[in-house]
Chain A
Amino acid sequence: MPPARAATGSATDRAEQSRAELSAQHRPECSPRFPIRALLSLAPPIDNTKEEGEEKADRGGAQTSIGTGYDLANSIFSPDGRNFQVEYAVKAVENGGTSIGIRCKDGVVLAVEKVVTSKLLKQGANKRIATVDRHLGVVYSGMIPDGRHFIDRARDESRSWRDTFKTPMPTADLASRMGGYMQAYTLYQSVRPFGITAIVGGFDSELEAAKYGGPFLYMIEPSGLYWGYYGAATGKGRQAAKAELEKLDLSGSGTLSLLDAVKEAARIIYVAHDDNKDKEFELEMSWISGADGPTKGLHQEVPKALREEAERLAKKSLEDEDDDDEKKDDDKMQE
């Protein structure tokens, strides 16, 4: 196979070829107990029977990775510079319940769709949005135990920040520290990346730092990459959720109020769930306002009454939309 590839002459193929040659010369004993050793040589299995054309055709898709050997361990670059294990971790996120975050002018709202996997689950007892510090909240999609670990670490970070600086941790710094933490899990073969994408919301006190205070929102991916957002969405329904978030007036001098953001968050989770209608779900929401807002600068669960009101409006808005669709269909028929 390698010589055939060399004929195509692309840079990546040349790299692949030279590695294959290298490893053919110094092929280490491959212990069946630790097949991972074989990966250290970065060599695709010699007896790989996969047709080259097949591989070429779907480069860029998931199939590119399979069978090359580059996807069998973390921290391995493929010849075109990808870490497939991180990409697979993203897949774990994409199967999880939708999480969103909204940063509006006077606060942050976090919301998550919790798909009910069993009737035997105690309703409302299993929380998915966690408090990291008084003013910091995190929601995540993907592998829930990984999310718990992430939360534990975030709490440790925010505590040690308090110990060192005697002040609450700014949201941006938490995002930075946790981004670094996630990234570290892409660096070694001895660990796997986190199977979550986390949305971090916070309200940095205006009282302690007038210039820098205010609501903040960040989203951290399994690679450790993070950006600040006005509206962030991850998990199964992220596409629909993003489309809805983009319609809101958030960026710059956005006008959406925190109360309305709660209602929008509920609606967006309902919209994002719409494609997954047959499965029941619970909506969980939390919010953070400034010191003079409803949560007094604290990260708290949205009160039951408000959440139920938001859910009622969300359902109504979905029904109205359906009615509209039907009407349109009717119109079409009449035409």
Chain B
Amino acid sequence: MDHRPQAWGRPRDDVYGAYDHSYLQSGGPKQMTQSPVVTGTSVIGIKFKDGVILAADNLASYGSLARFTDVKRLRVFLGTSVVGFGGDVSDMQYLDRHLNELAIDESYEGGGAQEEHGEKGKLNAANLHTYLHKLMYRRRNDFDPLWNQVLVAGLDAAGKPHLSSVDLRGTAFTSPSLATGFGAALAQPIMRKYAATEEDAARLTRDQAVKVVQECMKVLYYRDARSLDKYSIAVVTKDGVELKEDEQLEKQSWAFAEQIRGYGTQTV
């Protein structure tokens, strides 16, 4: 028997045959992240008259397992913008720390100037989106993407509502309403009923917009198997960010489930 220390704890070749080392070697090129691990599902956002609303549920899934049920996926930046993260949660945490450093950079520039100039001169949501766009595109060109799609909500330089998206491929765009993941299929059609154009969005009141978002979160919970009925919602206006991280979906009705055939215990 082989008594050398490097053989300790290994299956004996004379019993099991030589170990097939090719198992873990692809032999191909070096590979970076191929898929996300712990994930968050949809983030949805809609503009209204005075600002933007963002919402996302508090679930982080491990595959189909509802692994963490109190994950905050909306992060405030400088008290003036909100970033909503869909996709890989560890990449979200990396980005969150990164944005925190960016925010500290901003605090270097004159503590006193703040009193005089308020938020003037600080990075706004449009600047933040440009930055995240460059970051994500760079990472995808390094073939080491951050596996997220994020929504950025806030105001632009002119003080107008700003809502935009950037994903792991570095694709960036803006729209009066936006949704990531399953939300793009389930929530976007609902939001477009109320805010198909910038003009429509500019007519929405805050209360109307909140209602639309609540409705969308409910539909997402009904239809998205990786979702949760606990969610966060952020309202961004010129007065700052109102973030509620412990919202509960209300007035759910599962009556429609009766109509669904092919699952469960039905016999017909």
- Chain A residues engaging chain B, CB cutoff 8 angstroms: 124, 127, 129-131, 133-134, 155, 159, 162-163, 166, 284, 286, 298-301, 303-304
Chain B residues near A284: list those with CB within 8 A: 112
Q: Are B107 and A127 in contact (CB under 8 A)?
A: no
Closest to A303 in B: B115
Q: Are B107 and A134 in contact (CB under 8 A)?
A: yes
How far apart sit A304 and B111, CA to CA, in the bound complex (Å)? 11
Q: Which DSSP category, helix, strand, loop or mixed, fits chain A's interface?
A: mixed
Q: Are A124 and B104 in contact (CB under 8 A)?
A: no
Q: Are B104 and A159 in contact (CB under 8 A)?
A: yes
Q: Are B101 and A159 in contact (CB under 8 A)?
A: yes
- How many of chain B's residues touch chain A, expressed as a range? 10 to 19
Q: Which of B69-125 contact A (CB under 8 A)?
A: 97, 100-101, 104, 107-108, 110-115
Chain A residues near B112: list those with CB within 8 A: 124, 127, 284, 301, 304
Chain A residues near B104: list those with CB within 8 A: 133-134, 159
**What are 28 A-to-B residue pairs whose CB atoms are below 8 Å?**
A124-B112, A127-B110, A127-B111, A127-B112, A127-B113, A129-B111, A130-B108, A131-B108, A133-B104, A134-B107, A155-B108, A159-B101, A159-B104, A162-B97, A162-B100, A162-B101, A163-B97, A284-B112, A286-B111, A298-B107, A299-B111, A300-B111, A301-B110, A301-B111, A301-B112, A301-B114, A301-B115, A303-B115
Chain A residues near B108: list those with CB within 8 A: 130-131, 155
User: With contacts A131-B111, A163-B97, A301-B110 known, what are 20 further pairs, Cβ within 8 A?
Assistant: A124-B112, A127-B110, A127-B111, A127-B113, A129-B111, A131-B107, A134-B107, A155-B108, A159-B101, A159-B104, A162-B97, A166-B97, A284-B112, A286-B111, A299-B111, A300-B111, A301-B112, A303-B115, A304-B112, A304-B115
How far apart sit A299 and B114, CA to CA, in the bound complex (Å)? 13
How far apart sit A162 and B100, CA to CA, in the bound complex (Å)? 10
Which of B101, B112, B113, B115 has the most A CB atoms < 10 Å from its CB? B112
- Chain B residues engaging chain A, CB cutoff 8 angstroms: 97, 100-101, 104, 107-108, 110-115
What's the nearest-Cβ distance from chain B to residue A314, in Å? 18
Closest to B112 in A: A301
What's the nearest-Cβ distance from chain A to residue B150, in Å? 21
How far apart sit A299 and B112, CA to CA, in the bound complex (Å)? 11
Chain B residues near A133: list those with CB within 8 A: 104
Q: Which 5 A-B pairs have the closest CB atoms?
A: A301-B111, A301-B112, A300-B111, A131-B107, A127-B110
Closest to B110 in A: A127
How far apart sit A124 and B107, CA to CA, in the bound complex (Å)? 17
Closest to A305 in B: B115
What's the nearest-Cβ distance from chain B to residue A24, in Å? 55
Chain B residues near A134: list those with CB within 8 A: 104, 107
How far apart sit A155 and B110, CA to CA, in the bound complex (Å)? 15
How far apart sit A322 and B101, CA to CA, in the bound complex (Å)? 49
Chain A residues near B107: list those with CB within 8 A: 131, 134, 298
How far apart sit A155 and B100, CA to CA, in the bound complex (Å)? 14
Chain A residues near B115: list those with CB within 8 A: 301, 303-304
How far apart sit A134 and B79, CA to CA, in the bound complex (Å)? 14
How far apart sit A91 and B104, CA to CA, in the bound complex (Å)? 34
What's the nearest-Cβ distance from chain B to residue A144, in Å? 16
What's the nearest-Cβ distance from chain B to residue A152, in Å? 10
Chain B residues near A300: list those with CB within 8 A: 111
How far apart sit A27 and B112, CA to CA, in the bound complex (Å)? 58
